[in-house]
Amino acid sequence: MTADENATRTYDGTGVSPLAGVGTAVWYEPGGGTELEAPPDPADVDPEAERDRFDEARDRAREELEREREQTADRVGEDEAAVFDAHKQFLDDPQITDGVEAAVDDGVPAEHAVQRAFEDPIEQFAGMEGKMAERADDLRDVRDRLIRLLTGGDRVDLAALPEGTVLLAERLTPSDTAQLDPDRVAGFATAEGGRTSHAAIFARSLAIPAVVGVGADLTKIEADADVLVDGEEGTVIVDPTSDQRERAAGGRDVEIREEPVTTVDGKSIEVAANVGTLAELEGAVRQGADGIGLFRTEFLFLDREGPPDEAEQLEVYAEALDAFPDGRVVVRTLDVGGDKPIPYLEQPDADNPFLGERGVRRSLGPDADLFEIQLRALLRAAADGDGRLSVMFPMIATVPELEAALETVESVAEDLEAEDLEYAIPELGVMIETPSAALLADELAERVDFLSIGTNDLTQYVMAASREDDRVAALHDPLEPAVVRAIARTAEAGRAGDAWVGMCGEMAGDPDLTELLVGLGLDELSMSAVTIPEVKAAIAETETTDAEELASRAIESSTKEAVQKQITETNL
């Protein structure tokens, strides 16, 4: 096939994984509008299923309206936010719901039934004057929202996309991405989102080619178009040339190693995956992870009305252990706060959430009950884990905080003992994310089994620079000498204190930095699953003595450019 060069169009965005894929474009959210296809034969419609779809769409519409109401109240004001209350009321208005249900029972699909049920009231209001006519606009809004949710936002569709789909969307929520099947999705591209958005993290975990943040131009791509998503270059190409196509199909020439790897001289380095949902476990196994180095537990608490109970958590932790029968699973206790709000937890607005009450600060404070329930589930899961379950505490800044967390583990163990429930004390560790924790690493290492360096937060806090802020994003670089030295100091403290030391930030997943990290003395590297094969390959080529020399030169460097130069020279 000869590709027509003229037809090739390229859109730029942010690439999130070193993978490319080609497929047929499917729009997740059609660009709005209420033009529906002709309804099918009533005999082919299942009224009960349609009622369920309608109810689900109303639930989701209600959630959206609540969120938008809150945002409007914050940004604009209470008066302007009140319109969302009126919209919510329309959702439950018997005149609408009765109309929809009657039509559905006659064999009309939910989206058509919604359109019909709104017709009369809209016409009635539109014909009136002043305030009443505005109501017609409100009704149209609610109708369009429901139809969008019923047509574009259909949850079932995402899980059942045809093989070779390139998914295009305005944005993908955590629950959207969780449904994507990497076997069917050749890639996805979104108009919104950055490298750290949930969709991006998910794409790296499941090794799905993805480009985010393309902007409004993305909507120029028609459904069914032939699209290449290049997660390395950050481009979305419509009607790619045969050259481009071939390169994408060629994929990576790196072998997936299921077995643990060692350096050339035989030093074992554990290569593990960062995981934030159960769906990502499979991707981690597939990419050859030795275990889980960071099991984020926030997903258990998001998108729901109340916290998960002990039994539900126990099941989830057991599932993670099952996915890696020979590997370690490191679970991080609930890390809310910062940019991770959870609706049913009271989280007063903080001036600077990243410097506020988050991580273990909440677990030892307002979320003490949740912390205890989570630890109960973890200790019980550890009983079946043959010592493979590890638990670490996020955002530790002081020794008393760590001691309080360890005491909670003790008291939970006593409770379980008294209740005659099976349990085991898992390996316990600390996340090194605050400068304070890095400076106190020797004190912390004496008290735990392991340390795990979270380089994203550590870099942000050491450099006092947010990577979300373009003006200072250049400062947010883990190769800044201060960060390199904080890592070196932590690794050394771990060795002295008989605690193993791992790293679970994005830095750990960069194969160009593997030699440096081995040289700095890390025992474990945990990353988004997609780069595991590259990092394993890099370890297998590393000579520990060379790595140590590189590390000592990097520690002595006074600028990040100098650190970078050392790395580039050894990689040549």
Binding positions for another protein, rule: CB under 8 A:
82, 85-86, 89-90, 93-96, 121, 124-125, 128, 131-132, 135, 139
Instruction: Using the minimum distance from each CB to another protein, give the nearer residue, 136 or 203.
Output: 136
| 203, 27 contact by CB (below 8 A) | no
69 labeled part of a ligand binding site: no
Active site residues: 198, 504
Instruction: Using the minimum distance from each CB to another protein, give the nearer residue, 89 or 545.
Output: 89
> Please, what is the minimum distance in Å from the beta carbon of residue 126 to another protein?
12
457 labeled part of a ligand binding site: yes
Instruction: Using the minimum distance from each CB to another protein, give the nearer residue, 137 or 163.
Output: 137
Reduced to 3 states (helix: H, G, I; strand: E, B; else coil), residue 26 is: strand
Helices (H) and strands (E) in the chain, counts: 22, 17
> Please, what is the minimum distance in Å from the beta carbon of residue 55 to another protein?
18
* Single-letter amino acid, residue 265: D
CA angle 15, 201, 56 (to 5 degrees): 115
| 236, 311 contact by CB (below 8 A) | no
Length of the chain: 572
| 167, 181 contact by CB (below 8 A) | no
471 labeled part of a ligand binding site: no
Instruction: Using the minimum distance from each CB to another protein, give the nearer residue, 12 or 93.
Output: 93
384 labeled part of a ligand binding site: no
257 labeled part of a ligand binding site: no
- CA-based nearest residue to 323, from 298, 297, 294, 286: 286
Contacts of residue 104, defined as CB under 8 A and 6 or more positions apart, other chains included, come to 45, 47, 50, 51, 54, 110, 113
246 labeled part of a ligand binding site: no
Instruction: Using the minimum distance from each CB to another protein, give the nearer residue, 136 or 555.
Output: 136
Contacts of residue 319, defined as CB under 8 A and 6 or more positions apart, other chains included, come to 278, 281
Indicate left, alpha or beta for 182 from its phi (over 0: left) and psi (-120 to 50: alpha): alpha
> Please, what is the minimum distance in Å from the beta carbon of residue 88 to another protein?
9
> Please, what is the minimum distance in Å from the beta carbon of residue 54 to another protein?
17
- CA-based nearest residue to 452, from 284, 260, 295, 267: 295
> Please, what is the minimum distance in Å from the beta carbon of residue 230 to another protein?
50
Q: Binding site residues for phosphoenolpyruvate, as ranges? A: 296, 332, 456-457, 467
Q: Binding site residues for Mg(2+), as ranges? A: 433, 457
